[in-house]
Amino acid sequence: MVKAQLGAVIQPLFVLLWASAFIAGIIGVGAAPSLMVLFARFGFASIGLVLYARLVRATWPTRAELPHVIVAGLLMQIVQFGGFYTAMGQHVPGAVVALVQGLSPVLIALFAGFLGETVTARQWFGFVIGGVGVALAVADQTSLSLTGLALCGVGLLGLSLGTVYQKRFVPTVDSRAATAVHMMASAPVAGLLAWATGQLHIWDGGRFAASLVWMVLINSMVGFLMFNWMLRRWDATKVSRLLFATPAATAILAWLAVGQPLRPLTIAGLAVGLIGMVFASRKATKPAPVPSPEPVAVR
């Protein structure tokens, strides 16, 4: 009973915390350039995650695994968040970014054969519906630029390719240590890119510090711990379905926290996108095997 009650609290709390990352990102890129935000986030998060990995005695990648973990980390951190944060800096609504991020299974499905997986007709239908949802969500965003939408595509590509790469080359690596390596590898790259593009400055120190504390402690640490807590107790499908509620939660939080408007087409797009994601997550169920009759003992 206690576990069930704890699960009932953990699930909606996790959705809110996951969605809040987009709000913190919106506030952060309003206080400093996107690469400066990423440099600070990755730097401080790497310290916290390394300490956590050592505390729980996580298994670190081997010398052969380490290069693959780094490549996956750069794709999932630098490319994904570099694209998404820069898009938010160009006034792409956080809910739209969350919806685009949620469509990563579409690209991952394109590499299904490479991963030895199959995609059902029902899932492809969900991918198409999800794409329609994105189109509706951005249809009435008159301030959106093609550059902002292209940056969302870059972020989606980074997340999808990074996921495929890690599944293909290091599928059994300890996620706790791997995430720490992702952050350690991404921090200096973000710093170099920020320096090369002249983005090592801050416009609003107070807002920058507040968003950074939230992103590091709440999103990178608490959210990560909650995610792993759920994965240890429930199957991955049940946990991943919680992410379907992220775009809607992000839209509501963005409306409450930073005043981003909730337009009718945006709401319709989020609803359609949610339906598409649910379809995309459902795999065809295999019929239960019929048990063979036990042999009769001969006496």
pLDDT digits (tens, 9 = 90+) for 31-90: 999 999 999 999 999 999 999 999 999 999 999 999 999 999 999 999 999 999 999 988
- Residue pLDDT, tens place only, 249-261: 888 888 888 888 8
Q: Taking the chain, what is the end-to-end CA distance rounded to the nearest angstrom?
A: 49
Q: Which residue has the tokens 């991404």?
A: 186
- What's 19's DSSP letter? H
The total number of structural domains in the chain stands at 1
Q: Note the pLDDT of residue 240.
A: 61
Is 107 inside any structural domain? yes
User: Would residue 95 count as lying in a domain?
Assistant: yes
Q: What does the pLDDT look like over 254-289, one tens digit per residue?
A: 888 888 887 787 788 778 877 876 776 665 555 445
Cβ contact 130:277 at 8 Å: yes
Is 147 part of a structural domain of the chain?
yes
Structural domain boundaries enclosing 137: 2-281
Task: Answer yes or no: is 56 within a domain.
Answer: yes
Contact indicator for 281, 126 with CB cutoff of 8 Å: yes
- Residue that the structure tokens 């963005």 belong to: 254
Which residue from 250, 214, 230 is spatially nearest to 9, judged by alpha carbons? 230
DSSP, res 299: -
Query: What's the pLDDT at 208?
Result: 97
What would the DSSP string read from start to end of 143-156? T--HHHHHHHHHHH
| 72 in Cβ contact with 165 (< 8 Å) | yes
pLDDT digits (tens, 9 = 90+) for 180-220: 999 999 999 999 999 999 999 999 999 999 999 999 999 88
Model confidence at 168, pLDDT cuts 50, 70, 90, reads: confident
Residue 170 lies in a domain: yes
Nearest to 101 by CA among 127, 80, 116: 80
pTM of the model: 0.80
**pLDDT band (50, 70, 90) for residue 231:** low
In the predicted model, is pLDDT for residue 112 greater than 80? no
292 lies in some domain: no
In a domain, 122, yes or no: yes
- The amino acid occupying position 8 is A
Q: Is residue 164 in some structural domain?
A: yes
Q: Kindly state the tokens that stand for 173.
A: 């690596």
- Reported as type and span, the H/E element at residue 160 is helix 146-169
